[in-house]
């Protein structure tokens, strides 16, 4: 049986799981890569690009909700101009 989570639950769990279980090791070895976290199985998938991480998760768990973060950054993507 597949556990049903809201979008907000997926995001909340993924951020918490990253902070408590993954941050230290992933930032040491995979900084600037992407991690997609699937909360029900507590599984994560890495990729050198956003698309690669998402596709790795979709291949392993089609239809599962997941959340993607950029390792070592506050946001996964930045859209727009950076003011300096």
Q: For the chain, how many structural domains are there in total? A: 1
Does 81 map to a domain? no
b/e per residue 33-45 (b: at least 16 CB within 10 A) = bbbbbbbeeeebb
Q: Which is nearest to 53 in space by CA: 24, 30, 25, 82?
A: 30
Q: What is the mean pLDDT of residues 5-14?
A: 93
Whether 75 maps to a domain, the answer reads: no
Task: Tell me, yes or no, whether 19 lies in a domain.
Answer: yes
Given a cut of 90, is residue 64 above it in pLDDT?
Answer: yes
- Is residue 39 a contact partner of residue 9, using CB atoms and an 8 Å limit? yes
**What is the SS3 string spanning 24-35?**
HHHHHHCCCCEE
- What is the residue range of 34's domain? 7-70
For residue 3, the tally of other CB atoms under 10 A from its CB is 10
For residue 49, is pLDDT > 90?
yes
The answer as to whether 79 is a domain residue is no
Is residue 83 assigned to a domain? no
**Do the domain assignments include residue 11?**
yes
Residue 77 lies in a domain: no
Q: Compute the average pLDDT of residues 33-38.
A: 97
């Amino acid at each position: 049986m597949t556990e049903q989570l809201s979008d907000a639950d997926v995001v909340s769990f993924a951020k918490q799981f990253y902070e408590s279980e993954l941050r230290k090791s992933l930032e040491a070895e995979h900084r600037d890569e992407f991690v997609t976290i699937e909360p029900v199985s507590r599984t994560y998938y890495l990729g050198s690009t956003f698309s690669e991480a998402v596709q790795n998760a979709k291949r392993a768990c089609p239809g599962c909700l997941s959340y993607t973060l950029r390792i070592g950054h506050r946001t996964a993507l930045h859209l727009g101009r950076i003011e300096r």
